[in-house]
Amino acid sequence: MLTTSLTSTDLLFMLQGAWTTIALTLWSMLLGTFGGVICGLLRATLPRATLPLAWVLDIFRSVPLLIQFVLFNSLKSIVGLDWSAFTVACVVLGVYATAYCTEVVRSGVLAVSPNVRRASRSLGLSYWQDLRYIVMPMATRVAFPGWLNLTLSVMKDTALVMWIGIIELLRSSQTIVTRIQEPLLVLCIAGLIYYFISLVVARLGNQLEKRWQEND
């Protein structure tokens, strides 16, 4: 018999969607951070030589994410890539996160005073030693708040993957709303789940920043 009230099965369905949201965020930020660190270092150390890279990343920052999902999903079918919708979502979100993470890393590296770098080189450190032991630790602390905000933004942007057939938190909520016709109740619960996930991420980030300050 079809029930028109919210049940424990519905809540479990939403939690499964929330887990998909978390998994998408983790994988896309892993890809985005890896690509952002590489591209950010290149943009900070070789600004003129990497202008073409900057233009490409600007495209991914400028084009709405929904359009990127639709275009890449269509391109996958045209090229014949045997990728799941989840993989497509991770790749698109990962490239999108890379485009923004690049600027976060670049700003962090450029925030390190040139006098500090000159002092490290005068002490006999090589270019790579200076980058590894001096620049990156200082740049990481500067860039971390921006990276944390990017993570929270990507987590919310995962709601767009419903357009390529993935059932994440918002899609699962809409499915339940269609059945029980209680949008206010269901969407409030979904909003609370999003809030809880964001709160956990923000708290973990704050604890990490406090540890850095205590170690200074």
pLDDT digits (tens, 9 = 90+) for 102-114: 999 999 888 888 7
Tokens of residue 67, six digits: 């359009």
- The residue whose two tokens read 């030589």 is 49
Closest CA to 32 of 195, 198, 157: 157
Q: Which domains does the chain have, with CATH numbers?
A: 9-211 (1.10.3720.10)
| Alpha carbon distances (Å) from 81 to 77, 78, 84, 129 | 6, 8, 9, 41
Q: What is the mean pLDDT of residues 68-96?
A: 89
Model pLDDT for residues 121-174, shown as the tens digit of each residue: 777 777 778 778 888 888 888 889 999 999 999 999 999 998 888 888 989 988
pLDDT of residue 1: 46
d(CA 143, CA 159) in angstroms, rounded, equals: 26
Could you tell me the pTM of the whole model?
0.88
Q: What is the mean pLDDT of residues 34-47?
A: 91
